[in-house]
Amino acid sequence: MSKKRIVALISCFLLLVAIVGVLAQSSEAKTHLKLATGTKGGTYYPVGVALAGLINEKLSSSPEGITIEALTTDGSFQNIELLKTNVSQLAILESLIGALAWRGMEKYSGRPMHGMRSITTLWEDVVHFLVRAEKAKTGNVMDLLRFGKDGFSMGKEGSGTRISTEIILTNLQIYPEKVFTVVGLGYEDSFLALQKGKISGMNTPGGLPVNAVTEAFSKIGAKNLRILDFTKDQADYVNCPLRVWSPYVIPANTYPGQTHPVNSIAQPNFLAVRQNVDDDVVYLLTKTIYENLPSLKKAHQAVSSMHLKKALKSLPVPLHPGALKYYKEQGMEIPDHLFPDY
C-alpha cells in the first residue's frame, strides 16, 4: 500500500471520528418532551398540538434540540398522573385540578403533587350558571337558594366541572343537595335536558363561547334564559383559599340574543412542567411561546386572549425557575406564592 493511500485512509478515519463525535454531541443535546393534553374532541388536544408545532419549528434545530410530542389523554386528572410518573414532562391542566393536586386536597388527600411547576396561563374557562328565566328572581347566583326541587346539572360525577361547581357553591354556602335536585350530565346532554324541560339549570364552564350555551340561547331563546351574575364579594368568597378564580365579564352578544354583559368568574387552564426539567429548556420554552404569540393565536382560537401581562394570572402552583427567569427579564412583578421552593 502506498504512503499516499495510507495517509488518505488515516485522514478519512480521523474525519469519521470527528463526525461521530459531532453526532454524539448533537444526540446528547436533544431534548424530547411529551405534552399531556386531552381528548381530540376537546380544546386541550388542539392547543397542545399547536404548542408542540411552534416549539418544534423554532427550537428543534437549536443547540438544545428541543422537540415536543403531544399526547392524547382524558384530561387534567390523567395528566397529573402522567406528570407524576414521568410519562409526560409537560401537561395542560385546569387550574382547580392543579391546585387540588398541589395542596393534597379532595382525591389527592394525603398525596400532594409537589413535583410539578407552572410555566404560563393559557386561556380561561368562564363559569356559566345558566338557568330558566323564571328561576332568576334577581339574576344573581344566590337565586340557586330558591331553586326548589328542579334539576340542575353540575357536570358528570368525578369530572372537573362537577368538582368546581361543588366548590363554588359550597364556598357561597349553597349546599346543592339541599336546594335543588343534583343532575350529573355532560355539556351536550345538559343542554338537551334543559331544552326538553327535564332540568331548569346547568353549569358549563369553558372558553367563550361555550357551544352548549350557544345552542341553548339559539334553540330555547334568550328571553327564556339567564346566566347568573357574581358580585365582586362573591367572587372573592369563591376564590378562597385556592386562588384560581377571578371576576370575568362575559361581553354582551357573546350568545344569540344576550344583549347585556354578565359578571361571572373564570379560572385559567395552564401549562405545567415537571420540576426536574432543565431550567434552560423551560426558559427557552417560555421565551419562544411569548415571542411567537401571533402564530400561536392563529393556530387556535382558544389562546386568542393570551398576553404576557396575563401569564401569571391565577396560577395555582409555583413557577418553574426557567419560566421565572424569563418573566423577571420582562420586568414583571412576581407574586410571592409563585416563587419556586428551591
Domains of the chain: 28-123+269-338 (3.40.190.10), 128-229 (3.40.190.10)
Nearest Cα residue to 117 out of 279, 302, 328, 260: 279
In sequence order, which ranges of the chain are alpha helices (DSSP H)?
Answer: 3-29, 44-59, 76-84, 95-103, 160-171, 176-179, 187-195, 211-219, 232-239, 279-291, 293-299, 321-329
Percent of the chain with pLDDT over 70: 91
* Conformational region of residue 327, where left means phi above 0, alpha means psi within -120 to 50, and beta covers everything else: alpha
Residue 164 to residue 185: CA distance in whole angstroms = 14
Q: Which residues of 218-246 are buried (b: 16+ CB within 10 A; e: fewer)?
A: eebebeebbbbbbeeebbeebbeebebbb
Give tens-digit pLDDT for 170-218: 999 999 999 999 999 989 999 999 999 999 999 999 888 888 999 999 9
Q: What is the DSSP letter of 168?
A: H
pLDDT, averaged across the chain: 90
Greatest alpha-carbon pair distance for the chain in Å reads 102
Residue 32 to residue 36: CA distance in whole angstroms = 13
pLDDT at 13: 47
Count of residues in the chain: 342
* pTM, entire model: 0.80
Which residue did the predictor score with more confidence, 66 or 186? 66
Give tens-digit pLDDT for 249-297: 999 999 999 999 999 999 999 999 999 999 999 999 999 999 999 999 9
pLDDT at 223: 97
